[in-house]
A = this chain, B = another copy of it.
Amino acid sequence: MDDIATATLAPGLVERFAGIVGPANALVGEDLIAAYMIEPRDLWRGRGKLVLRPGSTAEVAAIMRLATETRTVIVPQGGNTGLVGGQSARGEAEVVLSLSRLDRIREVDPIGRVIVAEAGVVLARAQEAASEAGFLFPLSLGSEGSCQIGGNLSSNAGGTAVIAYGNARELCLGLEAVLPSGEVVSGLRRLRKDNRGYDWKNLLIGSEGTLGIITAAVLKLFPKPAGREVAYVGVASPDAALDLLGRAQDRAGSQLTGFEFMARVAMEFTLRHTAGARDPLATAHPWYVLMEISSQRSDEDARATMEDILGPALEAGIVEDAAIAQSLSDAKEFWRLREEMSWAQKPEGGSIKHDVAVPVARVPEFLAAADAAVLQAIPGARIVAFGHLGDGNIHYNISQPVGADKAAFLGRWREINDLVHAIVLALDGTFSAEHGIGQLKRDELARVKQGPEIELMRALKGVFDPYRILNPGKVV
């Protein structure tokens, strides 16, 4: 793929692929393929000319056999919501393979507590199917209305419930996948324990569609909590938030189902730009924690646990003030403040974003060092730090100074990324906590991973995809 920009598909290929999926599912023409080329945030613009929409695992396999035979590059795509360009075709010779038509929920097993979902099932639909059967499928993301299970697993999606239930990886018991060769590996097992050989399942999960195409998965279900309680808490510092986290973990264990934290400026932006939003607390605080407790017993039980955590923390001066949701609508409103935080940065001008994580204990250290470095580089920059404290995962976003030139500010994206990522790496952190590598961070990955580790990744890629036809130019 030396000439990604200029290469074109070989003559007759469109017809051969159309022969597999049927003409109606081999999309050509700008209008038809637009939704597969332009993702919602328009950060990545795909440059392909052909989109295939197979309707079965067998069709996916046939596509890959033909792709292997003809050395055609295939780019698998789910809901097209990825933030790092992993799902985007880089040129005309790259064919997008959309999993959207593999959208069946094959089974809900209420005794084994699993759901068997095809790759194209939209996350919200998987959540609904679980709920209708009386269970919880806890994976929850901003894009859950359009992102798909296959993409969630390919990118090892995170979100707000990771603290209690784990990443997408932890929620998956088994996979069915098509390898670049067109062979199907059937591992749709619903076993809680299975120690038979090498764990290829976890290699595919998080590989962003570069090792194989996930076509279906067995996902774990959890009992629905019988009660929930949510609180907004004002604290003086990241250290205080960390102290509160420890207390909440000790007291609530895995019933601590949410622990988001955010800087005052993130809260200000949200209050300013979200219709009907109001501050749950009477006065401003430097930092906030949004804490959720679940109970298998009742709302009252969740509330008692919440009070057991907040009471002593207030007394000890860890917590400055706290508001406990008095109703379901309060709770929804509290969560809405957090959910709108990403969008609320837009009206404030340019924003340079980071998806970093550091060891939980080092979050305060990271924030102090990164704030100092960023403000030295760009005086007046507004640091919109928020995220999942229990995971050490911070969306460390920098909004431009008031009145600054947006284009000039965004022109410093790479410089500021380098600055922040250097601090992250010095603290043994990661510059991709939950969004993945894709095209965006591929060079950076090669730069910072030590020799043996990146060589190992390249060798693994070679085993699965010797002809480099599956999503090349992504990850490694």
Where the two chains meet, the residues of A that have a C-beta atom closer than 8 Å to any C-beta of B are: 109-114, 155-156, 158, 162-163, 166-167, 169-170, 179, 183-187, 189-200, 202-203, 205-207, 211, 222-223, 225, 242, 246, 249-255, 294, 296-297, 305, 308, 357-362, 388, 390-393, 428-437, 441, 445, 449-454, 456-457, 459-464, 475-476
B430 close to A194 (CB less than 8 A):
yes
A433 close to B112 (CB less than 8 A):
no
A190 close to B109 (CB less than 8 A):
no
Q: A253-B222, A253-B225 are in contact. Are A195 and B459 (CB under 8 A)?
A: no
A359 close to B253 (CB less than 8 A):
no
Number of copies: 2
Bound Cα distance A412, B254 (Å): 46
Which 6 A-B pairs have CB atoms at the shortest separation, nearest pair first? A111-B361, A202-B202, A192-B391, A183-B452, A254-B254, A112-B361
Q: Nearest chain-B residue to A250 (Cβ)? A: B223
B436 close to A195 (CB less than 8 A):
yes
B207 close to A198 (CB less than 8 A):
yes
Contact of A167 among B162, B193, B198, B460 (CB under 8 A): B193
Contact of A158 among B193, B196, B462 (CB under 8 A): B193
Bound Cα distance A222, B360 (Å): 14
What are 11 A-B pairs with beta-carbon distances under 8 A?
Answer: A112-B360, A170-B170, A186-B450, A189-B359, A192-B360, A196-B449, A197-B206, A199-B202, A199-B206, A225-B253, A253-B254
Q: Nearest chain-B residue to A392 (Cβ)? A: B192
Bound Cα distance A113, B247 (Å): 12
B197 close to A437 (CB less than 8 A):
yes
Contact partners of A202 in chain B: CB under 8 A: 199, 202-203
A195 close to B392 (CB less than 8 A):
no
